[in-house]
Structure 1
Amino acid sequence: MNITLRQLRAFVALARTGSFTLAAESLYITQSALSGLMRELENNMGIRLVDRSTRRVQLTEIGREFYPVVEKILSDLDHVLSDVSEKKSLQNGFVRVAAPQLMASTLLPELIAAYNAAFPAVRVKLVDAVVESIVSKVFSGEVDLGIGPEREPNSDIATQTLFSGRFMAVFPAGHPLGNQAEVSWEQLLAHPFISLQGQFTERLRQDLHDAGAAMRIAPSNEVAFMSTALAMVNAGLGVTACISYATSLVTLYRLEMRPLVDPVLHRDFYCFTQHSRSLSPAAQSFKTFASSYLATIAT
């Protein structure tokens, strides 16, 4: 049966009003157009749904059974279409974002607050995680997108560069390194160096090697999260290096930062999404907003 939405809406309007005149007015069509739609519907179904008389319109027994079902279908459809329209116009929506613990406790709350000010009806869920799990959370569909440093290439994951952050030396207040405007890597590594587990130390070694710096990184301690490293630095157990965007957390621990030189090293940060899955309007708008917002902090 070639039944159309216009025919079903004509039937529901006629069943509600009991009048061709009122039903046609509610649909903003002529009575003849409404009669034509009803005729097409009944012909397609091969059964009469409405008994017509000069005084009133009545539903047949089949029409009475058919009406509540069709009314619910159209109501559900209108609700879905309205929801899609609201999501498209960002009048509502939900975005899930994964980020490393350090970024999730410094940069991402500022980004989300700025996004919420621009799109107050869209809810953003922040998932903080270890760096190595960011891409896997995107791949599994646990989150819509991830933000973090470069990972091993994956044909199922699309990457977009967001910003580049400079490495900074971090040490306690009153430390001898505080007398300098800049700190060399050699000077920093002369002190007990607290590093991060995973790829952090290896990538630092490679970056220093690629920059022609012949120096050895031998961490006095390796921890899972930068917040732990900063707490240890605050306790006088050593020094560390982190990206410039972490200034707020460094300040919270009452530590000092200086730019690292000889060589100057940067770390690129990316947005990760699935190649095979389209982003929702809300997720796409967050990605676009993040790209613009985070580009302003590039150093």
Structure 2
Amino acid sequence: MNFQQLRFVREAVRNNLNLTEVAAVLYTSQSGVSKQIKDLEDELGIDLFVRSGKRLTSLTRAGTGAVEIVQRILMETENLRRYASHYSGVDSGRLIIAATHTQARYTLPKVIEAFTTEFPKVKLELHQGTPNQVATMINSGEADIGIASEVLDQSPEIQAFPCFSWSHQVIVPKDHPLLKKAPVSLEDLSHFPLITYNPQFTGRKCVDAAFSSAGLEPDFRLTAMDADVIKTYVKRGLGIGIVAEMALDGIENEGLVVLPTQGPLFGSCTTLVAVRSGVFLPSFAYRFIETFAPKLKLEDLKAA
């Protein structure tokens, strides 16, 4: 048994049992992957995977439990490397951040700029995804740090910490008729087509809850994954936009303005930063989190 065999098993699960993708990720051949997994099964005396010909179709019952052990072994191996690196005094290595588009596009640029200036030898990777995908990347060990406004606090394997609160803002073209009626209410908005985030993105539940509590049925004419797309269609007059306040950057250059409202219509949402429980993070990872969320207590993070 060797670590490479364990990595093959882990990557097979991560890549939906597609050995072609596993081979690409680990820079080897598909036949090599198959052989190493079979050698491991022979040594253990159990089948980890159900097969149809040469294709893996699912995990066996024994395989499901074995994969959890494999993931723990590899996680602790990585912890040991990071632990040694931490005490070697060398600020180098790799840091993988998983974040939603809104966070990656609007809140992280200045943070990443400051971090890369302070730690030029650290290779930084930024992976984008839905909140669920961000949580999955943290759970599986594909990412070191996750940043999103949903889901991250719902997994027992993840420690999530609130960073800052934010609200949604309403945007319209500069000549929109509702500007003459401002400040507007939820009821005013309900009479117009609306453009906002998909249900799984960027605090959409806050928007839905506000209309529901008011007994209103909004006309969500178009939904999208990110604010840049929303702003594009608002500019074309397809509807009123509802976006995260951090996405307001540069709207004046796009012919858009914030529509004044009767107070904060959609309540507040909270951006979370998350790490996997039990994972040892190098000192530069904590520095990244500290740069992103200065109000967080590092002792709470290190106890995660």
For 1:204-240, what per-residue CA distance to the aligned partner results, in whole angstroms no more than 9, with x for missing partners?
Answer: 222444xx42222231122233322211111111112
Per-residue deviation at 1:293?
7.8
Separation in structure 2 between the aligned mates of residue 130 and residue 205 of structure 1, nearest angstrom: 18
For 1:25-76, what per-residue CA distance to the aligned partner results, in whole angstroms no more than 9, with x for missing partners?
Answer: xxxxxxxxxxxxxxxxxxxxxxxxxxxxxxxxxxxxxxxxxxxxxxxxxxxx
1:197 aligns with 2:198: yes
- In structure 2, relative to structure 1, the CA distance for the partners of 1:259 and 1:121 (3 Å cut) is farther
- Aligned position for 2:287: 285
Q: Contact between 1:94 and 1:283, CA under 8 Å: does it hold in 2?
A: no
- Aligned position for 1:145: 145
Per-residue deviation at 1:141?
1.3
Unaligned runs of 5+ residues in structure 2 are 1-80, 297-304
Count of residues paired in the alignment: 212
Separation in structure 2 between the aligned mates of residue 182 and residue 165 of structure 1, nearest angstrom: 20
TM-score, normalised to structure 2, is: 0.61
Per-residue deviation at 1:186?
2.3
Unaligned runs of 5+ residues in structure 1 are 1-79, 295-299
Separation in structure 2 between the aligned mates of residue 148 and residue 275 of structure 1, nearest angstrom: 17
- Aligned position for 1:106: 106
- Aligned position for 1:215: 216
Separation in structure 1 between the aligned mates of residue 191 and residue 178 of structure 2, nearest angstrom: 11
The worse-fitting range, judged by mean Cα deviation, of 220-229 and 181-190 is: 181-190
Q: Contact between 1:159 and 1:271, CA under 8 Å: does it hold in 2?
A: yes
TM-score, normalised to structure 1, is: 0.62
Separation in structure 1 between the aligned mates of residue 114 and residue 281 of structure 2, nearest angstrom: 20
Identical-pair percentage: 22
- Residue type at the aligned position of 1:106: Y
Q: Contact between 1:196 and 1:222, CA under 8 Å: does it hold in 2?
A: yes
Separation in structure 2 between the aligned mates of residue 137 and residue 252 of structure 1, nearest angstrom: 35
Separation in structure 2 between the aligned mates of residue 262 and residue 291 of structure 1, nearest angstrom: 24
- Aligned position for 1:128: 128
Larger Rg: 1
1:155 aligns with 2:156: yes
- Aligned position for 2:248: 247
Separation in structure 2 between the aligned mates of residue 214 and residue 271 of structure 1, nearest angstrom: 33
Per-residue deviation at 1:190?
2.1
Separation in structure 2 between the aligned mates of residue 271 and residue 87 of structure 1, nearest angstrom: 27
Separation in structure 2 between the aligned mates of residue 176 and residue 123 of structure 1, nearest angstrom: 49
- In structure 2, relative to structure 1, the CA distance for the partners of 1:104 and 1:250 (3 Å cut) is farther
- Aligned position for 1:47: none
Per-residue deviation at 1:264?
4.9
Q: Contact between 1:93 and 1:122, CA under 8 Å: does it hold in 2?
A: yes
Separation in structure 2 between the aligned mates of residue 160 and residue 136 of structure 1, nearest angstrom: 17
- Aligned position for 1:206: 209
- In structure 2, relative to structure 1, the CA distance for the partners of 1:279 and 1:199 (3 Å cut) is same
Q: Contact between 1:169 and 1:188, CA under 8 Å: does it hold in 2?
A: no
Per-residue deviation at 1:248?
1.6
- Residue type at the aligned position of 1:162: C
Separation in structure 2 between the aligned mates of residue 146 and residue 249 of structure 1, nearest angstrom: 26
